[in-house]
Amino acid sequence: MARDTSLFSGRPSELIGRQVAGYRIEREIGRGGMAVVYRARDLRLERTVALKLLAPELARNDTFRRRFSHESRTAAALDHPHIVPVFEAGETDGVLYIAMRYVAGSDLRHLLDREGPLPPGTALRIAAQVASALDAAHEHGLVHRDVKPGNILVARGTDSDHPEHVYLTDFGLTKKSLSLTGFTTVGQFVGTLDYVAPEQISGKPVDARCDVYGFACVVYECLAGHPPFRRDDDMALLWAHQYDEPPPLTEARPDLAAAVDAVFADALAKSPDRRQDSCLAFVAELRAAVAGGTAAGHAPTEVDLRVAGAREEPADAGDSRGRATAGPSSQESVGRVTAEPPKESGRYEPKPPPRWAEPVFRR
């Protein structure tokens, strides 16, 4: 069917202005190995959404289709301030699609590529929000399986205590085990292997602890500027996840207390049993290790008037679930980017204001 192909793999410009399943496509936001994401207008509800069109080959895979429909229902039922709300998931012309809240801002991949290693306070704030999202999903029996910087969206936060508001996205979009998925028919891997847990590689059953591993890889990268394992090819990387010890984070970040190494050693353990019980438990240990036992002072909250007022981008006008909600992370925050900065030693001085709080700078 020529139309199936043109929906997904046609030149992006061909889809701009077209209507797909009741959405008018406005522009391409980004693309990953298995999908293209567009900013689109929901013509029924008159609101802006992010419309994700999945590769047609996924729609042809029955296992994936079943999982897609089951997990998108579960994900849509998750109402959490740090999980991108899913509005609708369905199929049109042989292409699976998901309509979700459009998040104005950046994704963590883009942010890390631009900023390099983050100050510990910033990394911890972002980590605490992602952790609360993952733990909430786990409580609902949902394992993400594809925690990576590209699936963490960073929008402007509400005030100086919360300079960024982070959303986790793409639940249930990976297939059950790595051995079945991520590889194209010619055996080439699409996507990244930087965050994949050893048990995913070996095809063992996965549970929430595979997300603890993937999440710890992401947090490691936030602090080190690179993921725990760097290898020349995919096979070597898969091997490393399964058998090699991750280099201590303090090799890349000698400014951090040595105690952080033990925290990552547990989170990145080959055996899921040795990892922390939850993502928030990992973040709590990391925070304690970074603070070295001394609690950082809490600077007074400063209201960001730009946030309190109208948004520059009319992106989710009409969306009733405002971003301003402070998540469970609000009590978790350590380190401020504004006001009296905590002790963030060495060359990683906090630098207000965070530039990703500026309007859209997507690719």
Partners of 96 in the beta sheet?
Answer: 91
Which CB, 40 or 249, lies closer to Mg ion?
40
**Shortest distance (Å) from residue 32 CB to Mg ion:** 5
Distances from the Cα of 86 to the Cα of 132, 136, 150, 321, angstroms? 18, 16, 17, 12
**Shortest distance (Å) from residue 354 CB to ligand ADP:** 17
Is 244 a residue of the active site? no
Stretch that binds ligand ADP, among 94-102, 219-227, 228-236, 242-250 (CB under 6 A): 94-102
Nearest C-alpha neighbor of 146 from the set 122, 157, 130: 130
Which CB, 34 or 223, lies closer to Mg ion?
34
Q: How far apart are alpha carbons 228 and 5 in whole angstroms?
A: 37
**Residue 54 tokens, joined:** 């999945």
52 marked among binding-site residues: yes
- Per the residue annotation, which of 42, 107, 135, 146 is the catalytic one? 146
Considering only 103, 111, 260, 334, the residue that binds ligand ADP (CB under 6 A) is 103
**Shortest distance (Å) from residue 340 CB to ligand ADP:** 33
Binders of Mg ion among residues 1 to 40 (CB under 5 A) are none
DSSP per-residue string spanning 300-351: PP-B-HHHHS--SS-TTTT-SS-TT---GGGGT----SSSS-----TT----
Nearest C-alpha neighbor of 193 from the set 256, 237, 250: 237
Q: Which residues contact 347 (CB under 8 A, 6 or more apart)?
A: 255
**Shortest distance (Å) from residue 109 CB to ligand ADP:** 6
List the end-to-end C-alpha distance of the chain, in Å, as a whole number: 31
Per-position x/- string for 12-41, each x denoting binding to ligand ADP as judged by CB under 6 A, each - no binding: -----------------xxxx--x-x----
Binders of ligand ADP among residues 280 to 339 (CB under 6 A) are none
CB 23 within 8 A of CB 42: yes
Under rule CB under 6 A, residue 100 binds ligand ADP:
yes
Stretch that binds Mg ion, among 3-11, 166-174, 180-188, 245-253 (CB under 5 A): 166-174
Considering only 135, 170, 194, 211, the residue that binds ligand ADP (CB under 6 A) is 170
Which CB, 131 or 153, lies closer to ligand ADP?
153
Partners of 28 in the beta sheet?
Answer: 38
Binding residue ranges for ATP: 52
